[in-house]
Amino acid sequence: MQESRTLHQVQVAVGLLVGLVMVGALGYMLIEGWNFFDALYMTVISITTTGFAEVHPLSHTGRLFTIVVIVLGVVTIAYTGGRIAQLVLENYLLRRRRMSRKVSNLKNHYIICGFGRMGKQICLELQANQAPFVVVENDPAKVDVLRDLGYLYVEGDATQDEVLARAGIKQAKGLVAVLPTEAENVFTTLSAKVLNPEVFIVSRAVEEETESKLIKAGANRVVKPYEIGGHRMAQVLLRPGVVDFIDIIAREKQIDLQLEEVEVHPESLLVGMTLAESPIRKQLNIIIVAIFTSAGKIIYNPQSRTVIHGHDRLIVIGEEKNIQKLVELAARP
């Protein structure tokens, strides 16, 4: 409502300015007998107070008219400029309020701290999986990119508690720290863990000694890009077929096959069933590769008599629609 009113005021101000120019030009034509172009030129240089010389010598009445044009021009331009500045400011504040409202409504979302090359890739992956996320970034140029992409974002320093709070750290499910420096990643990890001890934190480390600091600060996982990149390149050389198969499952959208992790809720109908009794294999045609048990053990290729417990995490392969059914079964009934 306020924005519409201000826009109307801008339109009125611009109309007044255009009207003043036309009236001024008409006045010079009637008083001095000039042609339209000379009259228009004289009106514009008078309104803008540029100080150029008169087009033709002015009569006494013409000078009085010029005084009136100058005074009205200065007032009208000041009013128009003020309304335009108000409209720009209101648009900026309104956009920030809308963004803040959307971010505050997020629950069980992910926070990406840093929108560099790795941060952009993480956003693409989360978007492809339809996972809710918000980006924390303090570089104005990158904020403009986030706005153009339509991502939810919080502008500010991710190491500050107030900024993390605005990003909804207390309701967040996970946080990724991929900031430019190691110190920023350590400090952000520590701040996030203090604000929400339950949040799952993944942080990037370039230097070897930084990994232990991040773990002490509260990171659940530490990713070392160079180490992962080197390992992957070696695997491509040694086992290209295996790497291709994993890429197809993890990334190929045209093939209806998905590798997923499904956590079993303690009140799920699956709790207490063996794999043979459950509908996972015989009805949903889903293969369970491994189970991360609630006790912290890893069961690879579990047998049919393996019992499902609450908080178990099932690593499964299957069709997307069937995995979605399994997610619903694993959730609270």
Q: Where are the domains of the chain?
A: 2-102, 106-229, 240-330
**pTM of the full predicted structure?**
0.64
User: By three-state DSSP, how is residue 266 classified?
Assistant: coil
Task: Give the model's pLDDT for residue 1.
Answer: 55
> In the predicted model, is pLDDT for residue 199 greater than 90?
yes
Domain 106-229 belongs to what architecture?
3-Layer(aba) Sandwich (3.40)
pLDDT tens digit sequence for 115-134:
999 999 999 989 988 899 99
Q: Is CATH 2.102.10.10 the classification given to domain 240-330? A: no
- Taking CA atoms, 328 is separated from 136, 302, 309, 322, 324, in Å, by 31, 21, 16, 10, 6
pLDDT tens digit sequence for 317-326:
888 888 889 9
Question: Do residues 236 and 230 touch, judged by C-beta distance below 8 A?
Answer: no
Q: Tell me which amino acid residue 126 is.
A: L
pLDDT tens digit sequence for 5-20:
766 677 777 888 888 8
Question: Do residues 318 and 286 touch, judged by C-beta distance below 8 A?
Answer: yes
Q: Which CATH class is domain 2-102?
A: mainly alpha
pLDDT tens digit sequence for 206-263:
888 888 999 999 999 999 888 888 888 888 888 888 777 777 766 655 566 788 889 9
